[in-house]
Amino acid sequence: MTKSMRARFFASSDYFRMNWQHLLYRKNSKKSEQYYNLNSQQLGSVAIVGAGPGDAELLTIKAYKALQSADIVLFDWLVDESVLRMIPTHVEKEFVGKRAGKHSMQQSDICKRILFHALAGKKVVRLKGGDPAIFARTVEETEALTQYNIPFCIIPGITSASGASAFTGIPLTHREYAQSVRFVTASLKNPASEPDWNALVLSSKNQTLVFYMGLRKLDVICTRLIANGLDSTFPVAVVDRACTPSQAIEIGSLASIPTKVAAAKFNGPSMIIIGNVVNHQQAVDVSMLSSASLSFKSI
């Protein structure tokens, strides 16, 4: 038995211990999933692709090519609709969404769906919002692929912090006020896994803090920073749905921003930028980023 066949055999054994109906027939699918072909020598492959922060025109060329050549694309809630429209109509799409505060698929189940399709010989694109290297739980998926000897690659994308910075004009670094930037996950479910708030406060004088996935935790973040000594007047910006037509921004202080954002009724995804760079917002003209404005004319 070849390595490819052994991988399929053990994977199929794992799956039959789960809900086989869910695996073999997806609800609302136009056609049934195919059974594993254990006699096939051909494993599929997986491209883990960064979809960028929103606007489909921010996709890399490699990401676009991967979408065009895929058999199936597994995408999550953070992928913008404009990016999904880039997927050819003949390519199968499967939602494997995760969203804070909403019913969502567990990460272990997402890994199983990726394996299922790859072991069936398909070219799989796992499409993730932003960049796969930043708070995307990519390692859990690549470990599963490695376990079953499935080849994979990672195609980077523009991370949401960079997109929000460019589309709002708020720099992430500044020669005088922020010589570094720190990305922080706002998943604060367990107090033991919370960031070192005192260290964040101590570094804030010359460092920008960017919180990902923090909309629902904004009040907690501001409270923790103030409690650990950061001035309540310290500047904060919250960017909602960055790099999309519905982008919105609220600017305030640690004390005022939770009320402002609540009044604005942001829905997310949102980026929280904390630091003196907020006071140095550049007057970018976002209209220049439209397709029409960036079109090149022949001379």
Per-residue pLDDT of 230-239, as tens digits, reads 999 999 999 9
Over the stretch 255-284, which tens digit does the pLDDT of each residue have? 999 999 999 999 999 999 999 999 999 999
| Contact present, 172 and 165 (Cβ < 8 Å) | yes
| Sign of the torsion formed by the C-alpha atoms of 36, 38, 39 and 43 | positive
SS3 12: helix
- Look at 191 and 92; give whichever has higher pLDDT: 92
Residue 289, pLDDT score: 86
Instruction: Give the sheet arrangement for strand 92-95, strand by strand.
Output: 92-95, 72-75, 123-128, 45-50, 152-155
Query: Domains of the chain (ranges plus CATH)?
Result: 3-158 (3.40.1010.10), 161-280 (3.30.950.10)
Residues with catalytic annotation? 76, 98
Question: At 30, is the pLDDT very low, low, confident or very high (cuts 50, 70, 90)?
Answer: very low
What is the value of pTM for the model shown? Answer: 0.82
Indicate the range of 24-33, 80-89, 98-107 predicted with least confidence: 24-33
Question: At 41, is the pLDDT very low, low, confident or very high (cuts 50, 70, 90)?
Answer: low
Residue 116: Cβ within 10 Å count = 22
Residue range 191-215: mean pLDDT, rounded: 91
Question: At 187, is the pLDDT very low, low, confident or very high (cuts 50, 70, 90)?
Answer: confident
Residue 26, pLDDT score: 40
* Mean pLDDT (the chain, rounded): 86
Residue range 40-47: mean pLDDT, rounded: 83
Instruction: Give the sheet arrangement for strand 207-212, strand by strand.
Output: 180-185, 207-212, 270-274, 235-240, 248-253
